[in-house]
Amino acid sequence: MLTSNKKIKIAEFTVVIIFAIVIGTGMILFLHPAYGQGDNTSNNTTTATGANESEPLPVLLIHGYMADASTWKKWEDLLKKDEIPVFPITFRQSDDKCGSAAEHAKELSDQIGNIKDQTGQDKVNIVGHSKGGLDARVYLANNTQDVANLIMIGTPNAGSPLAENNEMCAPAVYDLRPGSASTAVEQNQNTNYYTIAGDWKPESGNCDLSMFSLTQKGGYDTLPKPNDGMVPLSSVESLNYTESLGNSSSCHSNLLSDYEYGLSKEILMGGK
């Protein structure tokens, strides 16, 4: 039979063992990255999808009217140099150069889903040139939560008079008309909207030769000034919820240069 002193010693030993087990288990839980603060010791924290929060979001580039993904070649090089994942879009289910904003918006959902799968990020940034900005606005009208920032370059947010009575490259041209459904879609509260507009003067140059050269020279004279030869600056900046990143002295078709990239870079790098 155990004496009282022996019982006390056994009880004390049992308590010590239990305490050691608890402490040991706690240390294991603390050191394991799935628990406690063990996953906060590094600045390179990751999301549930494995994406690095310190890395810039992938950038989806949407071309404009009568253009295609090749228009973004310079920006592709600049984004790759800054180590920002870049995806110039080529629409497959609807006509790439002349598809409507509504049809392009439907396809954007699949394209953005693919980009998120490839990069592990939950959101993307979008840069749209001209009508590409309208395509993005129509997509965002669905109140999606997967676009952090939209930068619209030379986008006719209130339309362009040059598209009136114009049937070239339909149905895309219909989206560019003042009062079109694409120009009237609602703001997405989950996205920040930015603009870059052209304030061009033909005598300054700043307009590479292109199929739109003559149109832009004529457009400069007929459109409300300032304009970029195809879109009035007032149309680009017509939405009361956008923030201007600045104006460019280039014509409409030349708005995708190093200068416009520089205006956008802080946002695309995640610094704003």
pTM of the full structure: 0.80
Only one residue has tokens 């520089």, namely 262
Tell me the pLDDT of the chain averaged across its residues.
83
pLDDT at 12 over 70: no
d(CA 174, CA 98): 10
* pLDDT band at 209; cut points 50, 70, 90: low
> What is the CA 249 to chain-centroid distance, rounded?
24
In contact, 107 and 92? CB cutoff 8 Å = yes
In this prediction, residues 92-106 reach a mean pLDDT of 91
- C-alpha triplet 109, 82, 49: angle, nearest 5°: 45
- Lowest-confidence segment of 87-101, 161-175, 248-262 by average pLDDT: 87-101
Is it the case that residue 211 has pLDDT exceeding 90? no
Of the candidates 65, 194, 38, which has an alpha carbon nearest to the alpha carbon of residue 129? 65
The whole-number average pLDDT for the span 184-197 is 98
Percent of the chain exceeding pLDDT 90 equals 69
pLDDT tens-digit map of 22-62: 333 333 222 232 323 233 323 332 333 345 567 899 999 99
Is the model more confident about 77 or about 38?
Answer: 77
The dihedrals phi and psi of 197, each to the nearest 5 degrees, come to -115, 155
What backbone phi and psi angles, to 5 degrees, belong to 59? -115, 125
Query: Which pair of tokens denotes residue 142?
Result: 């669905």
Top pLDDT among 24 and 246 is at 246
pLDDT at 92: 84
- Using pLDDT thresholds of 50, 70 and 90, give the confidence band for residue 124: very high
DSSP the chain: ---HHHHHHHHHHHHHHHHHHHHHHHHHHHHSTTSTTGGGSSSS-B-TTS-BTTSPPPEEEE--TT--GGGGHHHHHHHHHTT--EEE---SSS-TTT--HHHHHHHHHHHHHHHHHHH--S-EEEEEETHHHHHHHHHHTT--S-EEEEEEES--TT--GGGTT--TTTTHHHHTSTT-GGGGPPPPTTSEEEEEEE---GGG------TTHHHHHHHHHHSPSSB-SSSBHHHHT--TTEEEEEEESS-GGG-SSHHHHHHHHHHHTT--
